[in-house]
Amino acid sequence: MKKLLVSLIAFIIVLSGCSSGDSDQVTIGVLMPTQSAQRWIQDGEYVTELLEEKGYAVELQYAEDNPQTQVSQIENMITKGVDLLIVAPVDGGALTVPLSQAASANIPVISYDRLLTNTDAVSYYVTFDNYGVGVLQANYLVEKLDLENSKDSLNLEVFAGSPDDNNAQFFYNGAMDTLKPYIESGALTVPSGQTDFETVATLRWDAATAQTRMDNIITSNYSDKKVDVVLSPYDPITLGVISSLKSAGYSSSDLPTTTGQDADVSSVKSIIAGEQTMTIFKDTRLLAEATVDVVEKVLNGEEPVVNNTTDYDNGNFVVPTITIEPKAVDQDNYKETLIDSGYYTAEELGV
């Protein structure tokens, strides 16, 4: 009887082990920078959905723009024994220590949209053509304002992203390299004189910081002139700049020509309403797909196909990269680009 009981208990233990089925499940740790921006929420959702479809377990965490939180999150994930990490850093250079711990634990790391810098512990980088984002923004301005032929000089103000995000410098360089000839020819003037990256950068992409900077620029430089053009790298910064201009008395119809990035719902609505002029659409569904493809290849010991082996030097080495093409969106093409592609419904955009 006792023997029977022991075998029965052993049988139940084995069964319960099997029925969980989870013991062999591969777990992917996904670290995103913040939930305060719409795009990162979408990124988290798409990546999780695709990984789960492929049978992976997912640990998704947001660091709410705090680099130290992200350090702890990576350490915890290593302790829990995740099999691979996908990281979109808050501060690209702040994760050297936890990433070297991941390397020691043989956990591969994929850099997601933002480059992980000052580390050897990154296998691949999956992102958009970041320099291309800036070029698209600037070329849009060149064409829209006909800068090739303009006789008057237009007043431009320049904003950039967060200095601890490697992308910010790429966006800025792409845009400023393209606008430079027009600044030199006088087709564009920058009344504030603020054009170098350090001065125009916006820590943590914070819209309120940009709004305050715009308030100060208007007060100090625009008592007798109007802002005609604003180069903004990011939709919430653009909306912050627009709020500042409105507080200074600009009406919807005399706002400057503005750029943006991410095709956030609030900004697309603003474009439809004729306030913000354009944005850059980065299809995060494609980014998620490309990333999950890299995850599978890395875990199967295969080599993903990369398309950029020159541009993304992270301070330690040039990280093999997959880039996806961004697209300019304005009033003329938002329907086909954002609604027909199924990215948003007409209801979400209020049309």
Q: Which is nearer to ligand BGC, 39 or 327 (CB)?
A: 39
Give the nearer residue to ligand BGC in terms of CB position, either 67 or 191. 67
Positions in 55-74 near ligand BGC (CB under 6 A): none
Comparing CB distances to ligand BGC, the nearer of 129 and 228 is: 129
Give residue number: closest CB to ligand BGC.
Answer: 167
Strands 27-32 and 57-62: parallel
| DSSP annotation string for 260-284 | -SS--HHHHHHHHTTSS--EEE--H
Give the residue, chosen from 167, 259, 279, 321, that forms a contact with ligand BGC under the rule CB under 6 A.
Answer: 167
Interface of this chain with ligand BGC, residues 196 to 225, rule: CB under 6 A: 205
Q: Give the Cβ contact number of residue 91 at 10 Å.
A: 21
> Interface with ligand BGC includes 292 (CB under 6 A)?
no
Interacting residue with ligand BGC among 43, 165, 275, 283 (CB under 6 A): 165
- Kindly report the CA angle at 217 between 212 and 218, in degrees rounded to 5? 100
Which among 179, 168, 270 is positioned nearest to 229, based on CA atoms? 179
Q: What is the CA radius of gyration of the chain?
A: 24
Query: What distance in Å separates the CA atoms of residue 164 and residue 63, rounded to the nearest whole number?
Result: 15
Distance CA 318, CA 23 (A): 36
Smallest gap, in angstroms, from Cβ of residue 108 to ligand BGC?
A: 21
CB of 90 to ligand BGC, least distance (A): 10
Residue reference for tokens 């320049």? 158
Which CA distances in Å does 54 have to 206, 247, 269, 296, 305?
36, 50, 35, 9, 20
Q: Which is nearer to ligand BGC, 78 or 116 (CB)?
A: 116
* Candidate residues 46, 102, 121, 282; the one interacting with ligand BGC per rule CB under 6 A: 282
Contact string 75-114 vs ligand BGC (x = CB under 6 A): --------------------------------------xx
Q: Which of 28, 30, 32, 37 binds ligand BGC (CB under 6 A)?
A: 37
- Interface residue with ligand BGC among 228, 262, 275, 283 (CB under 6 A) is 262
Q: In this structure, are residues 261 and 330 in contact, taking their beta carbons and an 8 Å threshold?
A: no
298-317 residues near ligand BGC, rule: CB under 6 A? none
CA pseudo-torsion sign 236, 240, 246, 247? positive
Q: Which residues bind ligand BGC (CB under 6 A)?
A: 37, 39, 113-114, 161, 165, 167, 205, 234, 261-262, 282
